[in-house]
């Protein structure tokens, strides 16, 4: 049995959850763990002198519990609720993979916590320009709700801080930066990663890429 743990990290509202869900539909034996499920209760999250709740820091999360959940999945992925039916959009190289399991871990602070960095097979970091990120954030409803100035005073500065740390951290040399652009590039790279592990080699996926391009264009039309 082979297991593959893929990190989908990056900016808030960068499309991590959406991409993870699409990949789960495309890849056999695939499961997802979301970092958002490990936030501490509001009463345990610190407040700064401006009245901002400091959610975009590691101390706002039960990171040890998150690592434990990933380890538990790795020990026995077959009993973790992984979907094993035929994926929606597969190819010959993705069939007959009952002995390969893939876990996608998505979140905004994945690569700044060293115990997690020991687990990744592949790491991806999604980015957005400031204006687009702020626009998307303004359309989301959070509990508690963002207070005036919260994005510029806390969310974006923390993103830049952790992104800078990521770039300086030698253990993250293998992290692939995915700049804002067509979603098909991320899907193609992750499918390539999966199939390389599945087959123990690197193989071309031209036919699969063409199918993905058509599917993604039709889904955004």
What are the pLDDT digits (tens) for 37-57? 999 999 999 999 999 999 999
Contact 39, 56 (CB under 8 A): no
> What pTM does this model have?
0.78
What confidence score (pLDDT) does residue 43 get? 95
Structure tokens at 142: 């959070």
More confident residue, 189 or 88: 189
Residue 25 pLDDT level (bands cut at 50, 70, 90): confident
Catalytic residue among 31, 36, 98, 207: 36
78 Cβ contact list (under 8 Å, min separation 6): 1, 101
* Cα 162 from Cα 125, distance rounded (Å): 11
Beta bridge partners of residue 102, listed in sequence order: 4, 30
Active site residue 36: yes
Q: Both tokens of residue 185? A: 């590039």
pLDDT reported for residue 151? 96
Over its C-alpha atoms, the chain yields an Rg (Å, rounded) of 18
pLDDT tens-place string over residues 160-170: 999 998 888 76
Mean pLDDT, rounded, for 111-126: 90
Per-residue pLDDT reduced to its tens digit, 89-107: 444 455 555 578 999 999 9
CA gap 123, 190 in Å, rounded: 10
Average pLDDT over residues 153-178: 84
């Amino acid at each position: 049995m082979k297991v593959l743990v893929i990190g989908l990290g990056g900016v808030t509202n960068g499309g991590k959850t959406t991409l993870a869900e699409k990949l789960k539909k495309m890849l056999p034996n695939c499961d997802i763990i979301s970092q958002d499920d490990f936030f501490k209760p509001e009463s345990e999250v610190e407040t700064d002198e401006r009245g901002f709740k400091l959610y975009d820091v590691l101390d706002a999360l039960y990171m040890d519990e998150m690592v434990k959940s990933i380890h538990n999945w790795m020990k026995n992925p077959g009993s973790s609720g992984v979907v094993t039916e035929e994926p929606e959009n597969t190819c010959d190289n993705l069939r007959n993979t009952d002995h390969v399991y893939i876990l996608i871990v998505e979140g905004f602070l994945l690569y700044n916590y060293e115990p997690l960095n020991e687990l990744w097979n592949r790491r991806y970091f999604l980015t957005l320009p400031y204006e687009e990120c702020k626009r998307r954030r303004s359309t989301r409803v959070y509990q508690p709700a963002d207070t005036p100035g919260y994005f510029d005073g806390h969310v974006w500065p923390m993103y830049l801080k952790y992104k800078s740390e990521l770039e300086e951290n030698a253990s993250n040399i293998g992290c692939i930066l995915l700049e804002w652009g067509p979603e098909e590039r991320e899907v193609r790279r992750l499918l390539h990663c999966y199939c390389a592990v599945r087959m123990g080699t690197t193989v071309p996926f031209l036919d699969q890429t063409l199918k993905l391009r058509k599917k993604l264009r039709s889904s955004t039309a």
